Amino acid sequence: MLVLRSFPSRFVRPARPLPVLIAAALLVACGPAPQGGFHGFPPAAVTTLTLQPKTLPVGYEYVGQTAGSKEVEVRARVTGILEKRLYAEGAAVRAGQPLFVIDPRPLAAQAEAAEAEVARAQAQLAWNERELARLKPLAERRAVGQKEADDAAAGADLARASLRAAQARLAEVRLNLGYTRVNAPISGLSGRASKSEGSLVNANETLLTTISQVDPIWVPFNVSENERLLLDKAVAAGRLVLPKDNAFDVTVKLSDGSTFPRKGRINFADTRVNPSTGTYEMRAEIANPDLALKPGQFVRVKLNGAVRNNAVAVPQVAVLDGPQGKFVYVPAKDKDGKDVAAVRPVALGEWVEVDGANYWIVESGLKAGETVIVDGIAKLQPGGAILLGGAGPGGAPGASPGPTGKDAPPAKDAAKAAPAAKS
């Protein structure tokens, strides 16, 4: 049985008259189409830069770890009981400063015994010499046999040898007695004492502490084999000029981002590849008279002094990351002759700083005289319409100057608008 229910009138939505709907549809169909850019969006206002070749200073940055220019292990040179520690662990020590005392009494007793043996050998030598002096003239007058005189001479020679042996033994014991007072071999920063008072230490085995000479201080770092090959190729092609004899201007950045006030120099560059790491080892030397740098600190080593000839550079903010690598936007024309943004893949080299702004040196993908988009990148899409607002050097006024200009492009605002542009 079919039941029909009625609803209150407040729930029933009155239908619009059909003529009204038809009129509205005709108005939409006959109205003006959206104007502008990509998928209905208005064209993005952009600023461009015309690339010009320039000779630019370049720097190279590596991770390093500080180390003492001399690292000395202080070991016990005699066996005995450690009696005293005479220095503050971790403090700076000077060469010759006493560090430890090993119980000297056993060696002092040995020294007394060696002195007595020397005295006995001296007395024996004196007796043999007197005996030889008595028998020698008698043997010349044939008052005694020659054998007695020869025995007296041999006895004197043996006594002299015994005396020298006793003196050498005494010198050895006295030397070991001096080793019971362990002094710092170099000046530098001391390490932790590995043995406490009352411990038995063994000669030439037991490590007591370490001392690091930190003025000057060394900063070893590694250069990858691949990067070294690229540098060698660039030098061979004349695109890159490196300082002679590795005379780089070395600066060090600390972990808090500050720059160490004193500069250094390269004092070692290995010509062999480390087979375990695939890198070349290099080492910088920096003056450190105030001991501000400590061994073991991780730092960033920057080498300045190299020059790139006829380099083409783009602002860092203009470089984006895509699925296929890094790219930039360049202005182009679509089939209707309108200005659009086109993607251009690029291969990049060093990161340089020019007039306070950051730039990438372009290895391939762009040539001198071409134009790239450097501002307004946040609103761009591949193939999207653009509104050119200016050009770089050689273009229309109002452009953001490039590396050849006096001011850097407004990369700060663009970076805020387009986080993806950071590379």
pLDDT tens digits along 65-84: 999 999 999 999 999 999 99
Region class of 254: left (phi > 0), else alpha (psi between -120 and 50), else beta:
beta
Q: Most confidently modeled of 147-151, 193-197, 235-239? A: 193-197
pLDDT of 349? 87
CATH of 104-179, one of 3.10.310.30, 1.10.274.10, 1.10.287.470, 1.50.10.10: 1.10.287.470
Alpha helices (runs of H) in 88-208, residue ranges in sequence order: 105-140, 146-179
Domain locations in the chain as residue ranges: 38-53+312-421, 60-69+212-308, 104-179
Tokens of 287: 């003056």
> Which secondary structure element, helix H or strand E, spans residue 420, and what is its range?
none
In this predicted structure, the answer to whether residue 392 has a pLDDT above a threshold of 50 is no
Q: pLDDT tens digit string along 26-64?
A: 333 344 434 445 556 788 899 999 999 999 999 899 999
Residues 176, 151 contacting (CB under 8 angstroms): no
377 or 4, which is more confident: 377
Note the pLDDT of residue 416: 36
Question: Residue 230 gets which letter from DSSP?
Answer: H
State the average pLDDT over residues 187-208.
Answer: 95
Whole-model pTM? 0.68
| The pLDDT value given to residue 423 | 33
Is pLDDT above 50 for 259? yes
Question: What is the CA 52 to chain-centroid distance, rounded?
Answer: 34
pLDDT digits 0-9 by tens, 272-297: 999 999 999 999 999 999 999 999 99
CA within 13 Å, CB half, 132: 16
Q: What is the pLDDT of residue 162?
A: 95
Encode pLDDT of 368-387 as tens digits: 999 999 998 888 888 889 99
Q: For residue 198, what are its two tokens? A: 């009352």
Q: Is 23 helix (H, G, I), strand (E, B) or coil?
A: helix
Evaluate if residue 390 carries a pLDDT over 90. Answer: no
CATH class of the 38-53+312-421 domain in this structure: mainly beta
pLDDT at 147: 83
| Mean pLDDT score across all residues of the chain | 83
Summarised one tens digit per residue, pLDDT across range 101-119 is 999 999 999 999 999 999 9
pLDDT over 70 (residue 188) = yes
Which amino acid, one-letter code, is at 6? Answer: S
pLDDT tens string 308-364: 999 999 999 999 998 889 999 999 999 888 999 999 999 998 888 877 888 999 989
Architecture of the domain delimited by 60-69+212-308: Beta Barrel (2.40)
Alpha-carbon distance of 419 to 423, in angstroms, equals 9
Cα separation, 408 vs 105, in Å, equals 76
- Would you state the pLDDT for residue 410? 37
How many residues in the chain? 423
